[in-house]
Amino acid sequence: METTRLTVVSTRLAIAVDREPSGQWTITPFSGSLVTALGPVLRDRGGQWIGWLGTRDTMEETNLRDLMDQGSRLTGYALKPVNLTEEDIRQYSFGFSNQILWPLVHDLPSRCNFDPAYWTVYERVNAKFAEVVAANTCEEDYVWVHDYQLIMVAHHLKTMGIRRQTGFFLHIPFPPLDGFVKLPWRFQVLNALLSYDLVGFQTMRDRRNFIDCVRMLMPKMRVVGHGQIARCLTPDHEVLIGAFPISIDFKQFAEAAATSEVEDQAWIIHANLPERQLILGVDRLDYTKGIPLRLQAFANALERYPELHGKMTLIQVVLPSREEVPEYESLKREIERMVGEINGRFNQVGWSPIQYIYRSLSRMELLAYYRTCEIALVTPLKDGMNLVAKEFCACSIENNGVLILSEFAGAAAQLHNGAILVNPFDIEGVADAIRRACCMESDNRHRRMEKMRRSIQRHDIFHWVNAFLRTGIHKDLDQFPRIEFFVPSPVQAGHER
């Protein structure tokens, strides 16, 4: 069947809505990693995005329609909201998704709260998403579902008797068999994944883990093929299983980093922290990102290598995330305590070892940090991919940046030739890597960074999208031609943050 339109389904829509004290609703394009990745694929190509609005406030039908129209003009694609209740959000998102699946796949089962009520609501909310998909798509649509919050969508479509071509991409890791079997709903989850026509993972490691689980837990299913794409033969259809490492819009990052606006800002940052190498950490607030261990490693480097005092500053930027969850709040407090302690211990006149920023940076600020910092310290305990590592390289336009990267980030599979790979649990090992990066000769920096930039440029976000779509529907981005989909209309002042 000829696919004519792309429909993306994810928990959140690509916009944030807010209610002003006057009662007026405002709308801002959302800036998560998925939006960065998929916006270019849908924009002006007649695409649509289905997801939750992200607000718990109720809205009148006419307000909602106006807001969606406005959002569509801002983003360039149609937006179709899924209504979720307070209870849905609590049990499906904060519950099953973030207290069970998230820690489980990141090899932290002791953080899981296997509350059976969470599963019931997870199923129910996935069914709600399936209903919105069914109502807004037809058989010619390709329905591309994203991430661990929505594993059951294709299963529910099938239960409803709705035929759609479906693909699923898991942005987070897939755990090894001995981790996955701890999940009380392991059979339901595996079965649900096998309801899609294509299941994509970030790395070959994740794909291998998934296939191992299918082979061990579902011996009647046959998995064949050892190349890039494997096939699982279920009783009623064939599921393609592949690894598609997600990436960034390399060209856009590199070009934006070269603008005079970013250059000026980058210069100001460095001029305020003169005669030292700047080490950058940029992470969403999350225990998987390894921030406390990273701070310990940084302190260890200061302890063991006093010659580095005054010569380097760590700029740790943390993006607020999941703040309603007590665990995240206590992680924030722990980071702040450690930053205070390390600064208190090593501060000298004119030099603080750590600058700590806890907020969302504007794009220009973020690019300026990427551009001006000599070293990036990306040390997640486990990560599906980690886009920060790729963004830093793309913005290192003089090829003089050094990337210190956790071997447990999906990005390590692609960037191992240029990055200094570290085990984030090895405090002295990371401290040694910091010293090595600080002392690295310019030739070596250039050689390594060039390799990484070339690889990211070749395997950019468009490569990712095309690889997935070609596997799923034998089409690529160019075959969803640009169209005049929305009548451009100016966005009202005050609607952009």
> What six digits make up the tokens of 239?
């599921």
Of 76, 145, 174, give the one whose Cα is nearest residue 384: 174
Look up 460 and say whether it is catalytic. no
Which 263-282 residues touch ligand ADQ, going by CB under 6 A?
282
Contacts of 442 (CB under 8 A, 6+ apart): 400
User: With binding defined as CB under 6 A, does residue 366 bind ligand ADQ?
Assistant: yes
Q: 353: closest CA among 308, 317, 388? A: 308
Position 172 contacts ligand ADQ (CB under 6 A)? yes
Q: Which stretch binds ligand ADQ (CB under 6 A): 256-264, 294-302, 358-366, 471-479?
A: 358-366
36 sits near ligand ADQ (criterion: CB under 6 A): yes
Binding to ligand ADQ, residues 421-450 (CB under 6 A): none
Catalytic residue among 106, 171, 459, 463: 171
314 binds ligand ADQ (CB under 6 A): no
Give the Cα separation of 314 and 260 in Å (integer).
Answer: 25
CB of 158 to ligand ADQ, least distance (A): 26
Nearest by Cα to 33 from 357, 385, 392, 411: 385
Clarify whether 383 is annotated catalytic.
yes
Among 124, 205, 284, 454, contact with ligand ADQ (rule: CB under 6 A) = 284
Q: How far is the CB of 383 from ligand ADQ (least distance, A)?
A: 4
Task: Confirm or reject binding of residue 285 to ligand ADQ (CB under 6 A).
Answer: no
Contact 315, 278 (CB under 8 A): yes
- Amino acid, single-letter form, for residue 272: N
- 315 is an interface residue for ligand ADQ by CB under 6 A: no
Which residues have CB under 8 Å from 380's CB, separation 6+? 283, 288, 289, 290, 386, 406, 408, 409, 424
In this complex, which beta carbon is closest to ligand ADQ, that of residue 211 or of residue 282?
282
User: What letter represents residue 294's amino acid?
Assistant: R
**Which residues 177-236 are close enough to bind ligand ADQ by CB under 6 A?**
none
Query: Binding string, 378-397, against ligand ADQ, x = CB under 6 A?
Result: -----xxxxxx--x------
DSSP structural state of residue 490: P
Task: Supply the minimum distance, in Å, between the C-beta of residue 318 and ligand ADQ.
Answer: 7
| Among 85, 136, 234, 360, interactor with ligand ADQ by CB under 6 A | 360
The token pair that represents 248 in the structure block = 């960034």
SS3 content of the chain, % helix, strand, coil (to 5): 45, 20, 35
Cβ proximity to ligand ADQ, 45 vs 146, nearer residue: 146
Q: Which of residues 98-117 bind ligand ADQ (CB under 6 A)?
A: none
| Listed residue (313, 297, 319, 392) closest to 355, CA to CA | 313
Q: Determine, following the binding rule CB under 6 A, whether residue 33 of this chain makes contact with ligand ADQ.
A: yes
When the beta carbons of 162 and 318 are compared against ligand ADQ, the nearer one is: 318
Among the options 141, 249, 383, 460, which is catalytic? 383
Q: And the tokens for 278?
A: 């700047």
Query: Would you call 320 helix, strand, or coil by DSSP?
Result: coil
The catalytic site residues sit at 171, 383
